[in-house]
Amino acid sequence: MSAYSPTLPRTAEPHGTDRLLVLVGSALTDLGRRRAAQRAAAARARAAATRPPTTDRTTDRTTDALRAVEDRTLDRASTWRASLLP
């Protein structure tokens, strides 16, 4: 398989304009992934900043448990997204 395309055999590497288009497409894909990761991080920060404080002890435990589950879920998603980045 080619490093540029899974459908091209290794002996058929793109040259000239085709290679340029592949490189530009790869750069745009990387940029999109980075911007998506930044937007997600900013959204998480905004959500964390707007969480209301709790006063009840039972509510605190429930809220803490929910936040822990949410953090694990977000962490898995961010780890997966980070694995896509170069």
Chain segment 47-67, per-residue pLDDT in tens: 877 766 655 555 566 667 777
Residue 43, domain extent: 17-84
Q: For the chain, give me the number of helices (H) and strands (E)? A: 2, 0
| Number of domains composing the chain | 1
Evaluate whether residue 41 is within a structural domain. yes
Q: Is residue 70 predicted with pLDDT exceeding 60?
A: yes
Q: Is residue 44 predicted with pLDDT exceeding 80?
A: yes
CB 40 within 8 A of CB 78: yes
Residue length of the chain: 86
The single-letter DSSP state of residue 51 is: P
Confidence of residue 35 (pLDDT cuts 50, 70, 90): very high
Pairwise CA distance, residues 32 & 42, whole Å:
15
